[in-house]
Amino acid sequence: MRISGVKAPNKPSNQADDTFHFAAIPIIASYPVLQHAGKEALPVVHVGDRVEEGMLIAKATTMHSANIHSAIPGEVKAITSRVHVNGKKMLFIDVATGGRFRVQAKDAVRDYSNWNKQQILSELSSKGVVELDGSAVPIHIKWTTKEKSCSILVVDASEVDAYLSLAQQLLKEQLTAITSGIAIAARLLEPKTIVLVSNRTFSAELQTLSQSLKEITKLEVRELLLDAKYPYRHERLMVYSLTQERLLPSVSAEDKGMVISNIATFIASYEALAFAKPLIDRAISVAGAGVKHSRSLIAKLGTPIGFLLEECGGLTAKNATIVAHTAMLGKMVIDLDTPLTKEMVAIMALLPKETKSARPTACSGCSACFRGCPLSLAPREMYQSIKANRLDIAHAYGLSECITCGLCSYHCPARLELSQTFVQAQDKPTLTGRQ
Ligand code: SF4
Ligand code: SF4
């Protein structure tokens, strides 16, 4: 398989510096009750209630759900139904800041070395930890091996998007937490091998991590350095890079005995166990030419996106497009009060030249979409088939294999909404004949 992609710069040209900044505390933090894969959480607070930092405010309703905690102390001001940036309507819990912060102090380290697997999984679940690569799968589900065994634990320390420079900073600044978090996952999953995947430019940081892991886990630790190209870190492409095997649409990495987790997830898991810290903040990149200074922040969940943009010097242009999550996979933000949630890896502020917004024109047959597709699918044919209501033909061209990475749209000179069309078509039931 030929893997193409978009090359990532070493760091955004307007990046202010190479260290994390702690974002300021918002005046009001908002928490949508679904910011994880699975079922909505159920509010357990009422308007007027006082909450502490780290207090449970919405409880997981099933195993495939996640607890939500308040990132700030204060008072519940409203619980209202609104539309989240993902287009789904749900309850939001709004908390106005007031009172004393307690969770941030990391002086009391717990000894969890004698905990059994069930105790560890239960604590990760209780603290609302989810996979922090954007998928937001509850980690107590992902790191459970009830049905499938894990032979390879893949530590994803690569950049999620061509615009971002988050992974390298985490590797530099949070090595101890990452190492301890990987050791926790290794205890739960019992892999034979740990594979560290990162960009070629991070080899020094990866070697240090590799050395610490070998000493702590006594497992085989391998390193896989990839070109810093989007979308190499997608699960299916990572499996291909590791095994040279192309997964069928119905087969996941876990079916192949691999569990892939992002380094930010290991940090959150370690903090949950060592400091009893719920998932109330996360590392996030604020980037793009539309913001004055691209920065990596540690920000409280629930903080309005507009607040985070101000933290980075504000917008450079009124017509900047704001995107929650990554430039390729994110959703456009209309309301700057949209809160930071567990699923967001980045906030992008893009200028018109970066969004390349223009009216779509007719397909010229240039094949740029085919050349740009990392899975060598036929985006033009898939698009034309969907438009002709022939989902059966679109599937024959690879629609179900499409990872909706957006690269075909990125390369298309006719500005056709290729990947957006594929996302919608994939949501429809599997079809076998003319519609
Ligand atoms: S969105 Fe799908 S078809 Fe387009 S480049 Fe990505 S994988 Fe290929
Ligand atoms: S890149 Fe766009 S214009 Fe070129 S063949 Fe593909 S769909 Fe047509």
Query: What pLDDT digit, counting tens, does each position of 81-117 carry?
Result: 999 988 889 999 999 999 887 765 566 789 999 999 9
CA of 262 relative to ligand 1 center, distance in Å: 23
Residue 241 confidence class, pLDDT cut points 50, 70, 90: confident
At residue 432, does pLDDT exceed 50?
Answer: no
The side-by-side arrangement of strands in the sheet containing 346-350 is 15-22, 294-300, 281-287, 346-350, 321-324, 331-332
Least confident of 53-57, 121-125, 328-332: 328-332
Q: Which pLDDT tens digit goes with each residue over 186-202? A: 999 999 999 999 887 77
Nearest residue (CA) to ligand 1, atom 8: 373
Q: What is the pLDDT of residue 410?
A: 85
pLDDT above 90 as % of the chain: 59
pLDDT in the model for residue 137? 95
372 lines ligand 2 (CB under 6 A): no
CATH class of this structure's domain 12-26+114-355? alpha beta
Q: How sure is the predictor about 232, in pLDDT bands with cuts at 50, 70 and 90?
A: low
Q: What is the pLDDT of residues 290-306, one digit of tens each?
A: 999 989 999 999 999 99
Task: Tell how far the Cα of 338 is from the centroid of ligand 2, in angstroms.
Answer: 34
166 lines ligand 2 (CB under 6 A): no
Q: Kindly list the protein residues whose Cβ atom lies closer than 6 A to any atom of ligand 1.
A: 372-375, 377, 379, 402-408, 418-419, 422
* Contact 405 CB / ligand 2 (< 6 Å): no
Query: Which atom of ligand 1 has the smallest separation from the CA of 372?
Result: 5
Of the chain, the percentage scoring pLDDT greater than 70 comes to 88
Q: What confidence score (pLDDT) does residue 290 get?
A: 92
Instruction: Report how far ligand 2's centroid is from the alpha carbon of 414 (Å).
Output: 6
Task: Return the domain boundaries, the chain.
Answer: 12-26+114-355, 368-427
For the packed helices 418-427 and 379-387, what is the interaxial angle rounded to 10 degrees?
Answer: 60
Say whether pLDDT at 434 is over 50: no
Q: Determine the distance separating the centroid of ligand 1 and the alpha carbon of 425, expressed in angstroms.
A: 13
Q: Is the pTM of this model over 0.85?
A: yes
Q: Which ligand is nearest to the CA of 367?
A: 2
Altogether, the residues listed in the chain come to a count of 435
